[in-house]
Amino acid sequence: MSDIVIATEEELRRLLPLDIEAVEVVEAAFRALAGEGVVMPPVMSMHLPEVNGEVDVKTAYLPGFEGFAIKVSPGFFNNPKIGLPSLNGLMMLFSATTGLAQAVFLDNGYLTDLRTAAAGAVAARHLAPEDVAVAAVLGTGVQARLQMQAVHLVRPYDRAIVWGRDAAKAAACARDIAQATGVEAEVVTDPERAVSQAQLVVTTTPATEPVLRAEWLHKGLHVTAMGSDQAGKSELEPGALAAADLYVADSASQCAALGELRAARAAGLMLQDPIELGAVVAGAAGRTDPRQITICDLTGTGAQDTAIATRALAALRASGGGTRVTS
């Protein structure tokens, strides 16, 4: 007999804000990825064109973590037509010692949003220049807001620049970033202008054609690209990866299949295995000069899911939250 904690999105949002603790637990997951004993199978993905949907399943066992998560993440993109959200899903946490179920998080994708933003902060902490005056985001969705909030935790920039194809959405995004961070935020209509002024750029679009060109890269720039997480997506011109002084993947195999690395290799570039973010966190590689150009390719890993689910259970235990059932 064992108790299983069940928590809703509302509870999880209340207990787990986007803060430095979220960043540090995800950073610990990347550090673990650089060590021995990690088991992280490839993403199981179903593309469902008949219903304009997709389903991804991710998991990872990390030595030193109490549990391991299995995440099911459906995206059904016709849903808004019938008044339903496009994205939802849940996470399940199991004991890494006994395999018994410990928790079910009915988060509707919130924990994924949280761990994705935290990964962006980890990339910025280890790869961006120490001094970031201006940060820019290409994209205007949920992750545009969360990434800029997360980055500000580790690189407290003074000014934010937002670019998006829809001017009204870009303006709303800029207002939300300003409110969340307390910095000045402005909208530009030209993505090149956003990149040219920034020391740190995050791309958060579902683009299938590049929104950031190689010739826009400049000394002292860090780019985190997190929008490409399915084959066919690409935010960066392939030549940008080759032009960077350092390209880092969250997972080399995933980025080769789903990320910016896939498009670069299709263009005949970046054929050698890249450095992974875990190795950078562990101190084996990283920015060595403030003038370097660095790029981090984030496709989202099962390790991040295990990390944030572990933190969620700890928060629920500490607060006495959630509903407990006995199996």
Cα 239 to Cα 52: distance, rounded to the nearest angstrom: 31
- CATH number at 128 reads 3.40.50.720
Q: Are residues 227 and 317 in the same domain?
A: no
DSSP 51: G
Q: Are residues 123 and 173 in the same domain?
A: yes
**Strand pairing class (101-106; 3-8):** parallel
Cα 119 to Cα 301: distance, rounded to the nearest angstrom: 10
Q: Are residues 228 and 319 in the same domain?
A: no
Q: Note down the domain range covering 86.
A: 3-112+303-326
Mean pLDDT of the chain: 95
Q: Are residues 79 and 162 in the same domain?
A: no
Cα 178 to Cα 157: distance, rounded to the nearest angstrom: 11
Q: Is the pLDDT of residue 1 over 70?
A: no
Helix, strand, coil % (nearest 5) of the chain?
A: 40, 25, 35
Q: Are residues 247 and 290 in the same domain?
A: yes
**Which residues on adjacent β-strands are paired with residue 248?**
275, 296
Helix/strand/coil for 152: helix
- CATH number at 36 reads 3.30.1780.10
Cα dist from 137 to 178, 199, 318, whole Å = 13, 11, 35
Residues in Cβ contact with 77 at an 8 Å cutoff, skipping those fewer than 6 apart? 52, 53, 86
Cα 31 to Cα 19: distance, rounded to the nearest angstrom: 19
How many domains in the chain?
Answer: 2
pLDDT of res. 47 = 86
Interior angle at CA 234, CA 228 and CA 238, nearest 5: 125
Residue count (the chain):
327
- Express each pLDDT in 64-123 by its tens digit: 999 999 999 998 989 989 999 888 899 999 999 999 999 999 999 999 999 999 999 999
Cα dist from 245 to 23, 249, 291, whole Å = 25, 14, 9
pLDDT of res. 2 = 79
Q: Are residues 321 and 194 in the same domain?
A: no
The pTM (predicted TM-score) of the whole model is 0.95
Q: Are residues 199 and 287 in the same domain?
A: yes
Q: Are residues 38 and 147 in the same domain?
A: no
Q: Are residues 276 and 158 in the same domain?
A: yes
Q: Are residues 284 and 315 in the same domain?
A: no
- Express each pLDDT in 117-147 by its tens digit: 999 999 999 999 999 999 999 999 999 999 9
Helix/strand/coil for 114: helix
Residues in Cβ contact with 260 at an 8 Å cutoff, skipping those fewer than 6 apart? 225, 228, 234, 235, 236, 238, 241, 295, 297
- Express each pLDDT in 23-79 by its tens digit: 999 999 999 999 999 999 999 988 899 999 989 999 999 999 999 999 999 989 899
Kindly tell me the burial class for residue 174, based on how many C-beta atoms sit within 10 Å of its own C-beta (0-12, 13-18, 19 or more): buried
Q: Are residues 126 and 267 in the same domain?
A: yes
90 touches 107 (CB < 8 A): yes
| Amino acid letter, residue 5 | V
Q: Are residues 186 and 248 in the same domain?
A: yes
Percentage of the chain modeled with pLDDT above 70: 100
pLDDT of res. 207 = 87
Q: Is the pLDDT of residue 224 over 80?
A: yes
Cα 197 to Cα 150: distance, rounded to the nearest angstrom: 20
pLDDT of res. 327 = 78
